[in-house]
Amino acid sequence: MKVLVIGGVAGGATAAARLRRLDEKAEIIMFEKGPYVSFAACGLPYFLGGRAVDDPGKLIVRTPEQFVKKNNIDARVNNRVISIDRENKKVEAEDLSTGKKYTESYDKLIISTGSFPFRPNIPGIDSEGVFTLWNIPDAVKIKKYMREKGVKKAAIVGGGAIGLEVAENLAESDIEVTIVELSDHLIAPIDADMALPVLKYVTEKGIKVILNDGVTAIEKGDSGLILRLKESGVATDMVLMSVGARPQSELAKEAGLALNERGFIKVDEHMRTSDPDIYAVGDVTEVKNFITGKPASIALAGPANKQGRTAADNIAGIKSKYGGIQGTGILKIFDMTVAFTGLSEREAVRQGLSFDKVLTYHHPHAGYYPGGMDMAMKTVFEVPTGRILGAQIVGYTGVDKRCDVLAASIRMGATASDLEELELAYSPPFGTPRDPVNMAGSVIENILEGNMEKAEWSSVEGMPEEGALFIDVRGDDDISVSTIKIKGFERIPLEELRSRLSGLDRDKPVYVHCRNGKEGYFASCIMRQEGFDVSNLDGGCLFHDCSLCGCGKETEE
């Protein structure tokens, strides 16, 4: 059997290596149009900073020579496949170093051409000093430019994971960084409310962020470049365009393979295309969303790796299936960690699902053990089943652990009650007896079982003070931690609440809040059993703090 693989990196290289392990006698040829067939693309921002990765060679996972020696795979770098002849089962390729064109036949073909960075069609996009970061040559070129031009200011167009990781690494190299983002929040996979603490944090770190604005042109200035925005302009020494990607599917389109309207190659659960002898994996494919079962395309290295294994299995006669993409990701921004998995609230709305969500705050480990800071966790769940649909976490330590637990739980179809029952590792430096994941499950169960009514801050904004009772139940210790006093709320500390119930109007709806939602829940339990119509405001004042929530509501010290 002769198998050709078009494209390396996560999907193609994994498929080739897996196939060799399954079939020692197969002839395997891998084509890569660039100089590196297997490299760690996710490490590129850290090479720009130079602290974590000081040599681009450290990002090379396996060289062509290693593929030959260790895997007996003919890995041809700087070789571009020009066309696919499905009828005669052969491809035409070009050796870019010599210009020589040649053909190779195949029994099975794997397409792993990936994606390419989107460059908007605006004036000045091809100016010197305007870059995209997609591969090792890009990173080397950017770093050389920074060194030779003595870059002091950098503008990053796009506030996604790559943009933020580059921003961190450039800022730590004493470069003044401005991020320009067209949408209303950073990090598209998470919701706007969860992105607000990220915005606050990166701003405190000295990075300027411009939201709800886009680049209309790039012009040459007196001493660098000028980004022309809809509302303003940014002077800079260099520009990094990080505004998304497009599938590199021209070969598949010209070969007549089925594509979706966005240009992604359609595949089945075995990673087969519309041609039974051609498979496709990675960023170029349309697969299914594991949670909704609907078509989806998400560029992530982990899924590309798994898809490569699935394609290789099926070529070798093992009928394995790819279960679908979940969209689990994580990024480091200085000391902050942002992680997400499954559906966001925004996506759940778009899909028309019956859902609700809770916002919880919890310490990553025992409160008395030093070094912990509250993590904010937003959990999206199906109503009325309680099935977990997605989660987003923003914090400092322990975020990765909880995201992975939730990602695995979603994969196993877990409900809120399952989260409550999880037995997770506990020791004071690492966790709490009831882990943040357990707590999220408990809160959801309380809502589903009718033991607690919750309300969102947006539901009480603008509500006349005489129309309801608004009670802040924080004690003196909580006030000392967060001194925010929200207008319209009467402060009745939880420990005084029982003795003051007789003086409260039972005919009015009651909204209670505390610092993080926990004391508010306790207060709502007391008042509900005493006949009050009471709702606990989700997330407490940690979520309401206008420096985080951006709602414009005034606060008082």
- Reported for 546-550, long-range contacts at CB under 8 A and 24+ positions apart, including other chains, are 547/200, 548/196, 548/197, 548/200, 549/193, 549/196, 549/457, 550/196
Separation of alpha carbons 310 and 109, rounded Å: 14
Look-up: residue for tokens 């004071």? 428
The b/e string for 197-213 (b: 16+ C-beta within 10 A; e otherwise) is bbbbbbeebebebbbeb
The residue among 435, 519, 535 whose CA lies nearest residue 477 is: 519
The residue among 332, 329, 336, 331 whose CA lies nearest residue 200 is: 336
- Which residue in the list 42, 525, 546, 551 is annotated as catalytic? 42
The residue among 111, 68, 92 whose CA lies nearest residue 315 is: 111
Separation of alpha carbons 289 and 232, rounded Å: 39
Separation of alpha carbons 157 and 41, rounded Å: 19
Look-up: residue for tokens 């994580």? 330
Q: Are 363 and 432 in contact (CB under 8 A)?
A: yes
Separation of alpha carbons 335 and 556, rounded Å: 29
The residue among 98, 109, 84, 97 whose CA lies nearest residue 3 is: 109
Q: How far, in Å, are 134, 316, 531 from residue 131 at the CA level?
A: 10, 41, 63
Would you call 42 a catalytic residue per the annotation?
yes
Separation of alpha carbons 35 and 139, rounded Å: 13
| Catalytic residue list | 42
